[in-house]
Amino acid sequence: MTSVNIPSTHPAGTLPGVIHGNPATSHMGLIVLQEWWGMNEQIVRTGRELAEMGRFATLVPDLYRGKITKDYEEAGHLMSGLDWPGAVEDIRAAACFLMGKGCRKVGVTGFCMGGALSIAAAALVGEISAAAPFYGIPKAELCKVRTINIPVQAHFGDQDTVHGFSAPEDAQAFKAAMDKKLGFEFYMYAAGHGFTNPEHPTNYNKECADLALSRTVKFMQRLLQTANV
C-alpha cells in the first residue's frame, strides 16, 4: 500500500488516497470508492483484495479528505454534505493519476455512496472505461444515466430497504434505463444493503459478496486488459 496525493480541480484541492499494486506493471487501473463511512480500513482492505484478485492497480481516494465515522447519523451528514460534482472531478483526477503512472485503462467500482458515484463517473468521466456500481444510484440532477456509453455491471440486493437510492424498485428503474446498452450487466442478490461489507454483520452475506466481487473482477479484467499488455 502506498499513500498518494493527487492533484484535483475540486475546490478542496489535493485528493489523498492509497494505491495497491503497481500501475506501471499492471496497466489495469481500478478506482475503489468508499461507502458513506469514509476511507476507513474496510474500504482500504477491499482495495487491496481486489488488487490481489485481479492483478489491478487499485486506487482508493479519500473523498471526505480525512473524515471517517462509524455513526449512522454522522455518516448521513457527511454524505449529504458531500460536493457531488466535486467528487466526480476527484474521480477524474484519480483516473488521470493512474493513467499517468502507467495504466492504459481505468475502471471504477464503489459501494453505497461510492456505487452512486461510480454510475455518475460512468456518465461524466471520459477517462473511465468500465464501471461496477454496488447498491447506489445518483440523483438525476447529477447525471443522466441514459448518456452512459461504457460497459456497466450493476449489483443490488433484493432485500435493500434504502428507498429512493438502492431499493429493488430503484434498481429496476436503473435497469430499465440501461437495459439495451451494449455491455450492460445487472445482478440482484438475496441480500440487503451493504451485503459486501463484513463490518456490518446484519446485512453482510459472504456468499453473495464473494460471487459479486468475483463477477466484478472478471468483468474488469476483460474490459481493462489491452492487446499490448
Which pLDDT tens digit goes with each residue over 91-136?
999 999 999 999 999 999 999 999 999 999 999 999 999 999 999 9
pLDDT tens digit sequence for 170-193: 999 999 999 989 999 999 999 999
CA atoms within 13 A on the CB side of 130: 25
Grid cell locating 104: 492504459
Residue with cell 482495495: 47
Q: Return the residue matching grid coordinates 455513526.
A: 71
Domain 2-224 is classified in which CATH homologous superfamily? Alpha/Beta hydrolase fold, catalytic domain (3.40.50.1820)
Task: Sort residue 73 into left (φ over 0), alpha (ψ -120 to 50) or beta.
Answer: alpha
So what's the pLDDT on residue 200?
85
Q: How confident is the model at residue 201 (pLDDT cuts 50, 70, 90)?
A: confident
Instruction: Give the Cα separation of 198 and 126 in Å (integer).
Output: 32
Give exposure, 28-40, as e/b (b: 16+ Cβ within 10 Å).
Answer: bbbbbbbbbbbbe
The residues facing 157 across adjacent strands are: 189
Q: Where are the domains of the chain?
A: 2-224
Q: How many angstroms separate the CA atoms of 146 and 144, rounded?
A: 5
Q: Which tens digit of pLDDT belongs to each residue from 22-80?
A: 999 999 999 999 999 999 999 999 999 999 999 999 999 999 999 999 999 999 999 99
Inter-CA distances, 56 with 10, 13, 46, 49, 156, Å:
26, 26, 12, 10, 24
Of 24, 49, 178, 191, whose CA–CA distance to 109 is shortest? Answer: 49
pLDDT more than 90, % of the chain: 95
Phi/psi region, residue 40 (left: phi>0; alpha: psi -120 to 50; beta: rest), is beta
